[in-house]
Chain A
């Protein structure tokens, strides 16, 4: 009986292995493109040098096919023993190709066939670029309405004058003598209207100006480097917290030090995206901005390394911090903590800072007024702890009254205000 079972087990596992191997062969065999993308494309492009050389035209450069098989299986060993491999290494060092011992000969053949047959796709970027420009329908119409109002007022004024003249003419014809008409600038009606209009507009401007005193909404200063959030957070989808990580842990959302920029810009030396149009309408020389970064970082872009630290101050020679201009500033008598809002409150950065990922140069999106803070505290719901499902922030389990209220269906959610989010000393102390 047991012998029988062992036999079946063996047969089954054998079958399983056969099926596994067979399927893996089917899915890989001869699909050069898929193989290339899975194994090679991180370092090689078919038609251009990348981290490694362009693969197209390999057969003209390399000694023979056998050499290629050996190289792919173990580049490090080839560099040690083979002259051509050594020459390759000298050109591309310090990077050494990863060994792909698992690639079979026919798979390598398939990849190389794909590479040789590769033709770059026809560029379609042009169409996308022009489409973006025409989308400006929702512009500010204030000027248009202003001109319209002024024209209408002028027309009304002329019509009134014409009316006056016509009446004078008919009066003359009918022989009624009303005396000399009062000129418009001495007409008390006109003067009264004028004064009222000026008073209203002037009063409105004065009051709103006084309210706006000390608020810096729309402040959009030029920065020492034209750093585009649109390119980094928008196009390249880098998380806000990649650079501003301290927003999770501290009061401040920190400005990244230069080494964080260099994480990517050691490798990204030039800008190849769509041209960036500056606020003054000129096209930005983005590569010059990257060079500015290199000078702040003390990076030698020709040698591909940091400058030596000869003066022993802990940073490469010539490196210094970038003097970014601060945009958001709360008065000294307000306490605001980023980590509380980002980590506990789970707020998106965009809630307060606007669509940063669409701003080439950052501007202050909110007015950071107290009313604005309070309003959000009144409306936002906290991640209240649900005792039954055990979901939510466990800290809130201490609010006994709200728990009973929710249980008795008196409340359906708890806002920040309810847990003391609008008390003065939360922010002023």
Chain B
């Protein structure tokens, strides 16, 4: 009897030693001091306690109103003023009159614009803006603009901004990914990728010489 008990104990301890949990992919694992690991204070993306917070401004019911959105009509210090033209065909027409607030860029700013362009735009429009980014050449999204075409060379900065702000055809709005200054900077950068209306300048030059 004693023998069996010793043997059983041995097997049991061996089992405990060798066997570990199997489906741990879905579990974060054990922790000590959970109040240190999982923040008591509010953290980004954490769900708010619905007993204390509400995102319904009209019916607070004694709760704290919070909806992650800045108070309307406020801007960050040093930020460009908001773009006010509405997202309709009239606004699109009027956008041609909006001037690019950035007149010239330093080399560092140009580099930064190129970087932002390559992250956000080149995936479709291509590194050289010829409408041949990886998504375009793989045929996943159709109708991607070749920004080196004459019609885009002639397009006003403001109209480009309007399209980036609100999206156009298959393109979505980039207002959440690029702030206003970055958008204007990228437009300036696109201008450096575009051909300078070749024929006309050539003609202009010849007349000057003569």
Contacts and interface: CB of A to CB of B under 8 A. Distances in A.
B142 A236 contact: no
A241 B119 contact: yes
B120 to A, nearest CB: 6
A218 B24 CA distance: 9
Contact of B25 (A10, A202, A218): A218
A239 B29 contact: no
Contacts of A185: 3, 7
A13 B29 contact: no
B30 interface: yes
Given A50-B139, A259-B176, 6 more contacts: A9-B210, A43-B142, A102-B150, A220-B26, A222-B26, A332-B39
Interface stretch (B90-98, B167-175, B188-196): B167-175
Given A268-B140, A279-B25, A260 B14 contact: no
B73 interface: no
Given A242-B119, A331-B37, A332-B41, A42 B32 contact: no
A13 B204 CA distance: 12
B44 interface: yes
B209 interface: yes
Contacts of B174: 263
B77 interface: no
Given A213-B31, A215-B29, A221-B25, A263 B119 contact: no
Contacts of B41: 332
Interface string B140-156: 11111110011100000
Given A10-B210, A42-B143, A263-B171, A252 B44 contact: yes
A172 interface: no
A326 to B, nearest CB: 7
A182 interface: no
A236 B17 contact: no
Contacts of B10: 194
B172 A266 contact: yes
Contact residues on A (Cβ < 8 Å of other chain), bracket: 35 or more
Interface string A258-298: 01101110111000000000010000000000000000000
Given A221-B25, A329-B37, A198 B17 contact: yes
B172 A263 contact: yes
A236 B135 CA distance: 6
A236 B140 contact: yes
Given A239-B119, A252-B44, A264 B25 contact: no
B150 A267 contact: no
A266 B170 CA distance: 7
User: Top 3 closest A-B pairs, CB basis?
Assistant: A51-B142, A263-B172, A51-B143
Contacts of A214: 29-33, 37
A25 interface: no
Interface string A79-118: 0000000000000001100110010000000000000000
B139 A45 contact: yes
A245 B29 contact: no
A24 B110 CA distance: 32
B38 interface: yes
B99 to A, nearest CB: 25
B163 interface: no
A216 B28 contact: yes
A257 interface: yes
B116 to A, nearest CB: 9
A18 interface: no
A215 B150 CA distance: 57
A62 B139 CA distance: 26
A326 B13 CA distance: 36
6 contacts: A17-B202, A98-B149, A212-B29, A214-B31, A218-B25, A363-B25
Interface in A241-260: 241-242, 245, 251-252, 254-255, 257, 259-260
A375 interface: no
